[in-house]
């Protein structure tokens, strides 16, 4: 098992993220890609389960193939504090986006366990499976399943290789054997074997979670620009994502006159520029991105017959987001009509703005001060599992400085010293939440 010989703390959390950045924990040669329910995903779960158990937790996999560690409290049936983030990554991504929050959660529990301490509530660490949506055509499946906001119809999907979610789920079977106390122990991390039929049973009952805490790299430059290691997150921007298909007429690149062409790629190029121009022209916090584009059939001597691309629109205010998205879609329709192209737009997901809980933000600010850090609050333009968990319980987030604000990139970097500061803030937050829970119980 990797990383058990290192001293506990923020540096160990960073080191473990680095260890998970290579094979067998990556399915990509020369870089990091860990898609949901891939061999690398299963291998990473196996390794992390060992770290959870070494920190004093029990570990299991729920029906959505999330890895869950549990550290009992003095009142076992009390609502739990859930600390979580995601285990999957984008293709050729960075090592800390997601996993660092999981590792810091484990380190928080390890610190309590080393002191022989229990909080008035259980602590659970969730390693969510599919925040990025880099394998299947939808994001945040597993946290939505836990929050109870995922519809059964959304599970009918397949990856680029034609593997359905049901098939992928049933294929993940990890058996671990480990000697924990002089005797061989075999632990199964299997789901219950029912695959997609039981997926939605990962939902937690309302009232079983006291609060959700997520530590995450900022994925932006604000903290670094301000010379700060950490900051309190006030909320997550509203997001819309669309899948667009533009169809024209495929033809020979050498024999089809320009005036006779119905080229969907040329039309899509105009559409991509329109997305950028409309978002820039709004002169607000709205951002719009075309992150993926594919021309079919994809041969150099063939005019494409169809083009697929995505549009991602975000803003701190849903009204602004929706206004810009409406303008973008209207302009795309105009371009398609002018070029005699067919266009189809599918809304993949619509995620509302998700403010963090006001009282928990105050606790986080107090924890910042207790760790010797100035109070700094900032909004998240990126989506996180916290936005789904907000449907189930109050949420809090802690941002951690990342070098250059770079994320979703192999250049992603976090200083171990910043991770240690984040850990101390998290422990202060847990301590304060425990004090509040104790006062409530006494009352």
Binding residues for allantoate: 241, 301, 314
d(CA 414, CA 85) in angstroms, rounded, equals 16
Greatest alpha-carbon pair distance for the chain in Å reads 83
Annotated binding site: 86, 97, 132, 216, 241, 301, 314, 408
Report, in angstroms and rounded to the nearest whole number, the Rg of the chain calculated over CA atoms. Answer: 23
Q: What is the DSSP letter of 232?
A: E
Which residues are known binding-site members for Zn(2+)? 86, 97, 132, 216, 408
Residue bearing tokens 């006030």? 234
Long-range contacts of 289-296 (CB under 8 A, 24+ apart): 293/268, 295/264, 295/265, 295/268
Q: How many separate helices (H) and strands (E) can be counted in the chain?
A: 11, 18
SS (H, E, C) 135-190: CCCCCCHHHHHHHCCCCHHHHCCECCCCCEHHHHHHHCCCEEEEECCCCEEEEECC
| Closest to 335 in 3D by CA, of 285, 386, 267 | 267
User: Are 350 and 322 contacting, i.e. CB atoms less than 8 angstroms apart?
Assistant: no
HSE, CB side, 13 Å, CA atoms: give it for residue 313: 30
- Judge whether 441 and 75 are in contact, CB under 8 Å: yes
């Amino acid at each position: 098992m990797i990383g058990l010989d290192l001293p506990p703390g923020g540096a160990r959390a960073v080191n473990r993220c680095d260890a998970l950045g290579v094979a067998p924990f990556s399915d990509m040669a020369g870089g990091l890609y860990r898609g949901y329910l891939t061999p690398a995903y299963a291998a990473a779960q196996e390794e992390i389960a060992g770290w959870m158990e070494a920190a004093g937790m029990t570990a299991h996999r729920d029906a959505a193939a999330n890895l869950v560690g549990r550290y009992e409290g003095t009142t076992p049936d009390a609502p739990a504090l859930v600390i979580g983030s995601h285990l999957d990554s984008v293709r050729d991504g960075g090592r800390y986006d997601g996993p660092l929050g999981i590792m810091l959660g484990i380190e928080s529990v390890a610190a309590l366990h080393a002191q022989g301490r229990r909080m008035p509530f259980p602590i659970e660490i969730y390693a969510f499976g599919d925040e990025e949506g880099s394998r299947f055509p939808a994001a945040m499946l597993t946290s939505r399943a836990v929050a109870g906001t995922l519809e059964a119809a959304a599970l009918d999907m397949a990856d680029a290789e034609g593997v359905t979610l049901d098939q992928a789920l049933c294929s993940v079977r990890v058996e671990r054997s480990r000697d924990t106390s002089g005797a061989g122990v075999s632990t199964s991390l299997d789901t219950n074997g029912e695959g997609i039929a039981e997926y939605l049973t990962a939902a937690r009952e309302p009232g079983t979670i006291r609060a959700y805490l997520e530590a995450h790299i900022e994925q932006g430059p604000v903290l670094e620009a301000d010379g700060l290691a950490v900051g309190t997150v006030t909320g997550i921007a509203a997001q819309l994502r669309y899948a667009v298909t533009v169809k024209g007429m495929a033809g020979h690149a050498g024999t089809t006159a320009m005036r006779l062409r119905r080229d969907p790629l040329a039309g899509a190029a105009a559409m991509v520029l329109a997305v950028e121009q409309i978002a820039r022209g709004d002169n607000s916090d709205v951002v719009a991105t075309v992150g993926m584009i594919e021309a079919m059939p994809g041969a150099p001597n063939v005019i494409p017959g169809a083009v697929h691309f995505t549009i991602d629109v975000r803003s701190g205010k849903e009204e602004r987001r929706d206004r810009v998205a409406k303008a973008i879609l209207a302009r795309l329709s105009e371009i398609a009509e002018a070029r005699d192209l067919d266009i189809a737009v599918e809304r993949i997901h619509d995620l509302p703005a998700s403010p963090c809980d006001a009282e928990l933000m105050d606790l986080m600010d107090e924890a910042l001060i207790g760790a010797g850090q100035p109070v700094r609050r900032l909004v998240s333009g990126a989506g996180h599992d916290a936005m789904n968990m907000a449907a189930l319980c109050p949420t809090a987030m802690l941002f951690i400085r990342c070098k250059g604000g770079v994320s979703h990139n192999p250049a992603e970097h976090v200083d171990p010293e910043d991770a240690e500061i984040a850990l101390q803030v998290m422990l202060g937050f847990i301590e304060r939440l425990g004090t509040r829970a104790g006062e409530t119980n006494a009352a």
